[in-house]
Amino acid sequence: MERATMAKLYCLAIVLVLAFGLSSSARVRRTRKHYVKFINNLNNKVLNVNCKNQNPYIDLNLQILLPKQDYEFNYNATRTMAFTCNLRHGFTSSDFGVSDKATKRECGGNHCIWKAEDTGVYLLNLITKQYKFKYGWK
């Protein structure tokens, strides 16, 4: 009789542990990985790319892209991630955010592909497979 009671207690303990484990794991926020890619499509010009996040502070350092080269980085998206990038060639540049919700929607997914051209910076929509003019050079 005592063995049956102990077995029931063990079963109850296992059920409680499993129930607690499942309920606490349901509260864990999931993060999604996002990818940002830059393509230098300038006419025989070097493109400098420098991206930063403020909270937590992350500086991805200056990337120098020769014509037709590309650079890609990824990050786990959280509410505090707000990457901004500076693209520069010669004496002209463009600063813009690459991780806000509106930009991610325009990308059509978790991969945002930016193309630098002599006329400005373009963003690829992965659904329509078309680039859209986003920013001019300052």
The residues spanned by each domain of the chain are 1-30, 32-135
Sequence-ordered list of residues with C-beta below 8 angstroms from that of 71, at least 6 positions apart, any chain: 37, 38, 49, 63, 65
Q: From CA 88, how far away is CA 5, in angstroms rounded?
A: 74
pTM of the model: 0.76
Chain centroid to Cα 37, Å, comes to 10
Per-residue pLDDT of the chain (138 residues; tens, 9 = 90+): 576 666 666 655 666 555 655 555 555 556 688 999 999 999 999 999 999 998 888 999 999 999 999 999 998 887 778 899 999 999 999 999 998 888 989 998 889 999 999 999 999 999 999 999 999 998
Tokens of 62: 């200056």
Tell the CATH topology of 32-135: Immunoglobulin-like (2.60.40)
Q: From CA 4, how far away is CA 11, in angstroms rounded?
A: 11
